[in-house]
Structure 1
Amino acid sequence: MFTRKLHRPAALAAAVVTATALALTACGGPSSSSSDAGPANGKVTLWMYPVIKDETASKKFWQDTEAAFEKANPGIDLTIELQTFDKRDAQISAALAAGSGPDVVLITPDQAATYRNVRGLLPVDDAVSKDKNSFYPNTLDAAAFDEQLFGVPLFQNINTTAYNTKIFKDAGLELPKTWDDLRAAAPVLAKQGVAVMDYAGSPEQTLNLSFYPLLWQAGGKVFSDDAKDIAFDSAEGESALQLLVDLKKAGGLPIDAATDGPKVEGAPIATGKAAMRATTSLPELKQMRAALGAENVALGEPLTGKDQATYGNPGLLALTSINKKENRQAAYTVMDYLSSAASQKALNAAAGNLPTREDAAVLGDDADSKAMAAALKAANPGESSPVARQVMGALAPNIQAALRGDLTPKEALAKAATEARGILQRAAR
């Protein structure tokens, strides 16, 4: 019924997949789980989120996947329920608290840390035991806590820089690759009424795709190495926020950068009012090319400040505490099937993501694939702290305040850090 830095960059570079690299194929996978318990039976509910941006295509893909799975596993009744990203954390938390929700849910590594911390997730090592060596180690590391796995890596999201090349060419500018390049280009383009860089400062945009990449490029961190303290209120953090403030003052960010949302459609980058976006996924790249013309958009490497860095992490299929022991084998089978090489190839073709398994990789020689290969080497999976999302909630409005000019970068980060340290202290009790 359908209702951390990467460990093996050379191998990962070969994993680049673009949305056009594969034709959409029927999902395939093993008909039994990875353990020796025999055929599984039962009902499994999966909450899936908009991995495939096109709503119609997403609905058809998961309908077909559900049907193919049940044909291969006649003893299991799989229900894939499509959800929205809006209020996802609250929705999942409420389901776990009520004990009525999905057996399996798609989450991020920081969410895995959060829900595991409140005993909302169960380990899934048995779901990947047979194929564990096929997964890229970094994707498993992102879901590992205390030597147990709390998520099966389904796909990788990697983001990098996308340019409106026509704007830079018409202005006689090289494509910015460093912070210094950004600062130099900003006043030149501002005279033409164009912001050098699009930026989504709205709290609905995760800081993993807005401020954090700049923090990492400055050489900074969100948390201390032992994760017991906040580290963004540092010289590196101030440098990253000062860059945004300086660009805003120079006309280098859109006028509404403090409140703009993450959507490409209608955004300054899609209307020619911004010249580049520093964190762009392959599906977003496709939207930019549709709006601006394919010949006017190019993908490049992540920006470099002190370091080169971007955000990229795996989407994880997690087993919730709602799942019952008698239904465990069926849930393992679902996760095994969906994360198989054949299923990943089909999903990546439809969604424009990257694989988490070596045997699902396709090497691309095109410019986009080469740019994504470089991005893989500089990808940071974000923070896997159980309070990572709460800390974002403390930091985001203070970044907005700095962009509005209400606080200096130092004041904004200090205020956010005080609130974030309170979050850490309460969590430690």
Structure 2
Amino acid sequence: MKLRSLSPLALTAVAALALASCSSPSAEPATPDDGAVTGEVTLWMYPVIRDEAASKDFWEAAEAGFEKEFPDVDLTVELQTFDKRDEQISAALAANSGPDLVLITPDQAATYLNVGGLLPVDDAIAGDRDVFYPATLESATFEDELYGVPLFQNVFTAAYNKTLFDEAGLDLPTTWDEIREAAPVLADDGIAVMDYLGTPEQTLNLSFYPFLWQAGGTVFADDGTTVAFDSKAGVEALEFLVDLQEAGGLPADAATQSVGIEGSPLAAGTVGIRPTTSPAELAQTRAALGEDAVVVGPPLEGAEQTTYGNPGLLALTSINKKENRAAAHAVLAFLTSQDFQTELNAAAGNFPTRTDVEIAGDEADREAYAAALEVANPGEPNPAARQVMAVLAPYIQSALRGDLSPKEALAKAADEAQAVLDRS
């Protein structure tokens, strides 16, 4: 057992481009004649547990627990930082030297698979597949094969300043129509019905995309080769936000509002809803407004009810050698088991990817977040997802500022984003 903490590698763009030369060895594991699982497996783990000391202790215990069950497998967990994670993983794959397993996101899975850097892992959870939330598996499924086992997930849902709605004599709105109806009532008292974080620092997965999905739209077409956010549904989603802005239903600076609770209109008591709220943000909001003032609700609903929830995936890299394949599968099954996920989610404050793992927290909060898990959208994995997001975000700002109509903003963004997609 060798748990090591490593600093990010010194990298170059040439190393990242060399991904294209990665080989893709057979995904079939090699099992010894006696059926015992043997081998050496290295896992690159990123800060799922924020406290560095607690993280080190947890993963040391995880190594020991796994090796007790599989004494002929040497598991090494190498603790990494998020700094330059993409470059670090890309360089390792290009050099064919690094981890057998690595923690990645769905869009990273799409990118690394595109250049032959990942191996399928269906066999690792063949007996447990039905207990995972379907969306978490779909986020890592490409051409009908699974390229990552969901270890945990983050999920975001609506949080309300209930006091504001009570004082206005309003029920808590959960649909777009109810939000539209509540907006002018609250605006008369100088209250915005809903928050919107328009800063480019905020991922669109937590700002515009949930509304796009709620309208029935998508970022990309099904085949992933064209953008689709400028569809009728996309225009409806952006019009919903712009109409709220014009009616005083969003904060005046929604186009540029920064991330965070401290100093926000929500913490100041001038906003009724934050549509995508994490447990950490919920705790901060309650600290600012009072425990009884803040309640959690299910995800908002337009044509559809959905929210953003991103799983962390344990992926098997092309670096893994056939003689260590069965051992790598054993690690994947162990770390994503019911018992281990229960321990990890308690330590990290995340949510399970398995339906047989209980959600932590107060009962009322558990109910709301459980509802969110059932309809969570993990995002749309695409090698160009982040570049497309960077193109689209300023145009969303333009529409909220009134510089362009929603239709014009999305059409211009689609032209630029499609060029990015074509190049990728």
What TM-score results when the alignment is normalised by the length of structure 1?
Answer: 0.81
In 1, Cα distance between equivalents of 2:51 and 2:164: 28
SS in 2 for 1:269: helix
In 1, Cα distance between equivalents of 2:378 and 2:243: 27
1:379 maps to 2:376? yes
SS in 2 for 1:92: helix
Aligned AA (1:166): T
Give the one of 286, 297, 300 matched to 1:300: 297
CA contact (8 A) 1:199 1:257 kept: yes
Q: How many residues align?
A: 396
Closer/same/farther in 2, CA of residues 365 and 282 from structure 1, 3 Å limit: closer
Give the one of 312, 328, 333 matched to 2:330: 333
SS in 1 for 2:192: coil
1:109 maps to 2:106? yes
Show CA shifts across 1:289-309 (max 9, x none). 233322111111211222222
- Tell me: higher relative CO, structure 1 or 2? Use CA pairs within 8 A at least 6 residues apart: 1
CA contact (8 A) 1:218 1:237 kept: yes
CA contact (8 A) 2:120 2:148 kept: yes
TM-aligned CA deviation for residue 77 of structure 1 = 4.0
Closer/same/farther in 2, CA of residues 175 and 66 from structure 1, 3 Å limit: same
- In the other structure, the counterpart of 2:215 is 218
Give the one of 411, 414, 418 matched to 1:417: 414
TM-aligned CA deviation for residue 99 of structure 1 = 4.3
Closer/same/farther in 2, CA of residues 120 and 269 from structure 1, 3 Å limit: farther
SS in 2 for 1:407: coil
Closer/same/farther in 2, CA of residues 88 and 407 from structure 1, 3 Å limit: farther
In 2, Cα distance between equivalents of 1:200 and 1:56: 33
CA contact (8 A) 1:278 1:302 kept: yes
Aligned AA (2:74): I
- In the other structure, the counterpart of 2:390 is 393
CA contact (8 A) 1:34 1:130 kept: no
Q: Give the fraction of aligned pairs with identical amino acids, expressed as a percent.
A: 60
Give the one of 88, 92, 102 matched to 2:89: 92
Show CA shifts across 1:397-416 (max 9, x none). 22122223332222211111
Q: Which moved more, 1:362-371 or 1:284-293?
A: 362-371
- In the other structure, the counterpart of 1:154 is 151
Closer/same/farther in 2, CA of residues 368 and 421 from structure 1, 3 Å limit: same
In 2, Cα distance between equivalents of 1:407 and 1:285: 34
Closer/same/farther in 2, CA of residues 390 and 100 from structure 1, 3 Å limit: farther
CA contact (8 A) 2:359 2:366 kept: no
- Counting only pairs closer than 5 Å after superposition, residues 26-425 of structure 1 correspond to structure 2 as 38-49=36-47, 51-53=48-50, 57-74=54-71, 75-84=73-82, 88-361=85-358, 366-425=363-422
Closer/same/farther in 2, CA of residues 204 and 149 from structure 1, 3 Å limit: same
TM-aligned CA deviation for residue 365 of structure 1 = 9.5
In 1, Cα distance between equivalents of 2:51 and 2:248: 33
In 1, Cα distance between equivalents of 2:211 and 2:246: 18
Structure 1 unmatched runs, 5+: 4-32
SS in 1 for 2:346: helix
Structure 2 unmatched runs, 5+: 6-28
Q: Which moved more, 1:386-395 or 1:56-65?
A: 56-65
SS in 1 for 2:308: strand
SS in 2 for 1:196: strand
Closer/same/farther in 2, CA of residues 57 and 287 from structure 1, 3 Å limit: farther
Aligned AA (1:284): E
In 2, Cα distance between equivalents of 1:108 and 1:329: 23
CA contact (8 A) 1:47 1:102 kept: no
Closer/same/farther in 2, CA of residues 46 and 250 from structure 1, 3 Å limit: same
CA contact (8 A) 2:359 2:370 kept: no
In 1, Cα distance between equivalents of 2:178 and 2:196: 17
Aligned AA (2:119): L
Q: Which moved more, 1:73-82 or 1:155-164?
A: 73-82
TM-aligned CA deviation for residue 151 of structure 1 = 0.2
What TM-score results when the alignment is normalised by the length of structure 2?
Answer: 0.82
TM-aligned CA deviation for residue 278 of structure 1 = 0.7
Q: Which moved more, 1:70-79 or 1:391-400?
A: 70-79
In 2, Cα distance between equivalents of 1:96 and 1:193: 54
